[in-house]
Amino acid sequence: MVSGLINANPVIYEKKQRRVRRAPSVGDDEHAVEPIDQIEFEARFVRVIIFLTFLNHVRDIKDPEHPYSLEELKVITEDAIEVDDNNSYVRVTFTPTVEHCSMATVIGLCLRVKLMRSLPQRYKVDIRVAPGTHATESAVNKQLNDKERVAAALENPNLVDMVDECLAPSYA
């Protein structure tokens, strides 16, 4: 891993007002099905929080930086999530903060793990780097969507710890 921050001063965007579900589900209708939709996704995982300092293993910084969520860094926006409940398909497109961001794979891995844990098994998850935002776009895409490689990565205890740490606040 590189020591020192890759993007020491990220641009912080304001969080967008969360979209609110229009009418709360009617009380009596016990058997109405509420399909998994985009809004639910936002609630579930746009708030994935990445501790930048943690990722970069910088230990000698005295004042710990504030953790920002992916949303605040505009790594993920609402419209970058496509959900199709009928066909059990999700596609998430994210934008790394800088072009050479070596964190892209880690962020992608976090997203994938988060989705794996919070979606029914029938779903196919597709995670992509936004076109033209990363130097090694295709390599990253390939790595993120390769089941074997993801499984291998998750067998690495250090990596799993890190992912867990990143995701912890998103379950609150």
Partner 1 sequence: MTEPSQLTQHIESFVDSSRSSTQQAASLDTIVSLVKNDVVTISSLVREMEMYLTTTDNIIRARGILLLGEALKCLSSKPLDAATIHSLMSFFKERLADWRALRGALVGCLALVRRKSGGMVSSSDAKGVVESFLQNLQVQSLGQHDRKICFELMECLLNCYPCVIASMGDDLIYGICEAIDGEKDPQCLMLAFHIIEVLVQVFPEPCGPIESFASDLFGILSSYFPIHFTHPKAEEDFEVKRDDLSKALMLAFSSSPLFEPYVIPLLLEKLSSSLSSAKVDSLKYLSYCTSKYGAERIAKHAGAIWCSLKDAIFTSGQPLVLSLTPESLGGLGFQENEIAAEALTLLEKVVIQNNDLFSSMIVGDEEINMVLNSLSGYQSCNEIPSQSTQKMYSVGRILYVSVKASVASCSRIFQNFFPCLMESMGLPVVNGSKTSSFNDECIISKRPNHGSLYLCVELLGACRDLAISSDDLASQCVSADETWCCLLQRFSTSLSKIFSSILATSTDKPSHDADVYLGVKGLQILATFPGGYLLVSKSTCESILMTFVSIITVDFNKTLLWKLSVKALVQIGLLINGSNQSEKSMSYMDIVVQKIISMISSDNHDIPFQLKLEAISDIGTSGLKYMLKIVTGVQEVICANLDEVYVRGNVKSAKVIIHLLECYSNVLLPWIQKYEVFEDILFQFVVSIWNQIENCMDFPVGICEKELLDATMKVMKLAVACCSVESQNIIVNKAYTVLSSSTFLSMKDSLSSLQAQLEELEDTQEMIKFSSRDEWIHSLFTSVIIALHPQTRIPNIRTVLHFLMIVLLKGYVMAAQALGSLVNKLDLKTSGTEYSGGCTFEEAMDIIFGKNLSPSDHVPAERSGITGDWSETGLTNLCLGAANSGLLKIHSFVGLAWIGKGLLMRGHEKVKDITMVFLEGLLSNGRMGASPLEENNCNWDMHLSAMKCSADAFQVLLSDSELCLNRKFHAIIRPLYKQRFFSTMMPILQSLIIQSDSLLTRSMLYRAFANVVTGTPLIIILNDARKLIPMVLDSLKLLSKDVLDKDIMYSLLLVLSGILTDKNGQEAVIENAHIIINCLIGFATYPHTMLVRETTIQCLVAMSQLPHARIYPMRIQVLQAVSKALDDPKRAVRQEAVRCRQAWSEI
- 86 sits near partner 1 (criterion: CB under 8 A): no
Stretch that binds partner 1, among 49-57, 68-76, 96-104, 120-128 (CB under 8 A): 120-128
Q: Whole-number minimum distance, CB 39 to partner 1, in Å?
A: 9
Please tell me whether residue 25 binds partner 1 under the rule CB under 8 A: yes
d(CA 47, CA 25): 24
Q: Would you say 2 or 116 has its CB closer to partner 1?
A: 116
164 binds partner 1 per the rule CB under 8 A: yes
Q: Does 118 bind partner 1 (CB under 8 A)?
A: yes
Residue 30 as a binder of partner 1 (CB under 8 A): the answer is yes
Instruction: State the nearest-atom distance from the C-beta of 117 to partner 1, in Å.
Output: 6
- The minimum distance between CB 28 and partner 1, in angstroms, equals 11
Rg (CA), the chain: 17
Nearer to partner 1, 61 or 116 (CB): 116
Backbone angles phi, psi at 91, to 5 degrees: -130, 125
Residue 18 as a binder of partner 1 (CB under 8 A): the answer is no
By CB under 8 A, name the binding residues for partner 1. 25, 30-34, 36, 40, 43-44, 117-122, 164, 167, 171
